[in-house]
């Protein structure tokens, strides 16, 4: 019983640490993979991608219809704006060109921005010009393997908060729509060579704070375990 308790305590510490790290930035949270296998066209039978707003013909596409469209592959790195020296995910991303979907829907003359909305209520945006680039895709594979999520927006050269995943709505806006982080003060251009956003906009906890906390928690558990061993407590 004692061993079970210690294992549970250590596991809880690791889970809390991982949860804290993943919650620090949208890029790290987006890097988690916990969805069903995307290897077949029926992996997400209930998922729909809606293209709406300032378009001529709104679209409502199933997973099978998305993967049946012409494929495009781009090589790119997903980089976190708060930790620019880290490459979270990289390689060959395969999916469908965003441009193809927008051209199929037909962009209205009054459209100014493309907004992306996810099933977890996260959002981001792109200018029409960026959205129509040939290397911007909605990916469902990385290096030939399923992503484990419906689709992820891949925008080479942009910070990770533009790489929204679990997208289910693409809306064209006739005004200057801003996504979640963009409306909080982060750069709307989000070029990776631009400086990080000003501090204080969204709380950040860099590794030099997180790691000592994690090590302290581990030390406390180790000391507690030694005391239990000395007391020879029988559960």
pLDDT of residue 43: 74
Residue 54 has pLDDT above 70, yes or no: yes
Supply the pTM of this predicted model: 0.69
Q: What are the helix (H) ranges across the chain?
A: 2-22, 26-30, 63-68, 98-105, 128-131, 207-231
By DSSP bridging, strand 167-173 and strand 48-53 are parallel
DSSP assignment string, 184-195: GTS-SS-BTTSP
138 Cβ partners below 8 Å, 6+ apart?
Answer: 49, 66, 95, 96, 98, 101, 151, 152, 153, 154, 167
Quickly state the pLDDT bin for 64 (edges 50, 70, 90): very high
CB of 37 closer than 8 Å to CB of 43: yes
Residue 233 has pLDDT above 60, yes or no: no
Convert the pLDDT of each residue in 78-129 to its tens digit: 998 888 888 999 999 999 999 999 999 999 999 999 999 999 999 999 999 9
CA 179 to chain centre: 14
pLDDT of residue 20: 44
pLDDT of residue 8: 46
Residue 223 has pLDDT above 80, yes or no: no
Convert the pLDDT of each residue in 189-209 to its tens digit: 999 986 555 444 444 444 444
Residue 169 has pLDDT above 70, yes or no: yes
CB of 54 closer than 8 Å to CB of 172: yes
pLDDT of residue 101: 98
Q: Is the pLDDT higher at 152 or at 81?
A: 152
Convert the pLDDT of each residue in 1-45 to its tens digit: 444 444 444 544 444 444 444 444 444 334 333 233 334 445 788
Rounded Cα distance between 55 and 106, Å, is: 5
Rounded Cα distance between 184 and 123, Å, is: 12
Residue 181 has pLDDT above 50, yes or no: yes
By DSSP bridging, strand 123-127 and strand 137-142 are unpaired
Rounded Cα distance between 10 and 186, Å, is: 36
Residue 146 pairs with which residues in a beta bridge?
A: 141
Quickly state the pLDDT bin for 173 (edges 50, 70, 90): very high
pLDDT of residue 230: 56
Residue corresponding to tokens 């950040």: 204
Quickly state the pLDDT bin for 234 (edges 50, 70, 90): very low
pLDDT of residue 211: 55
């Amino acid at each position: 019983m004692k061993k079970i308790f210690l294992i549970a305590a250590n596991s809880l510490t690791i889970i809390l640490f991982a949860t804290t790290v993943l919650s620090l930035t949208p890029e790290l949270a987006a890097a988690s993979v916990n969805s069903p296998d995307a290897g077949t066209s029926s992996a997400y039978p209930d998922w729909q991608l809606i293209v709406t707003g300032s378009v001529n013909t709104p679209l409502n596409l199933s997973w099978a219809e998305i993967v049946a469209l012409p494929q495009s592959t781009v090589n790119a790195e997903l980089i976190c704006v708060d930790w620019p020296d880290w490459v979270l995910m990289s390689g060959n991303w395969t999916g469908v060109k965003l441009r193809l979907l927008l051209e199929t829907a037909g962009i209205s003359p009054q459209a100014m921005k493309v907004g992306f909305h996810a099933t977890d209520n996260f959002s981001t945006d792109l200018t029409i010009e960026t959205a129509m680039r040939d290397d911007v895709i909605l990916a469902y594979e990385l290096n030939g393997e399923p992503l484990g999520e419906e689709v992820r927006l891949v925008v080479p050269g942009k910070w990770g908060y533009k790489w929204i995943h679990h997208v289910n709505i693409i809306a064209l806006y006739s005004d200057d729509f801003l996504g979640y982080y963009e409306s909080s003060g982060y750069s709307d251009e989000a070029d990776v060579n631009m400086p990080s956003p000003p501090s204080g906009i969204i709380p950040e906890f860099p590794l030099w704070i997180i790691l000592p906390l994690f090590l302290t928690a581990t030390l406390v558990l180790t000391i507690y375990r030694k005391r239990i061993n000395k007391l020879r407590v029988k559960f």
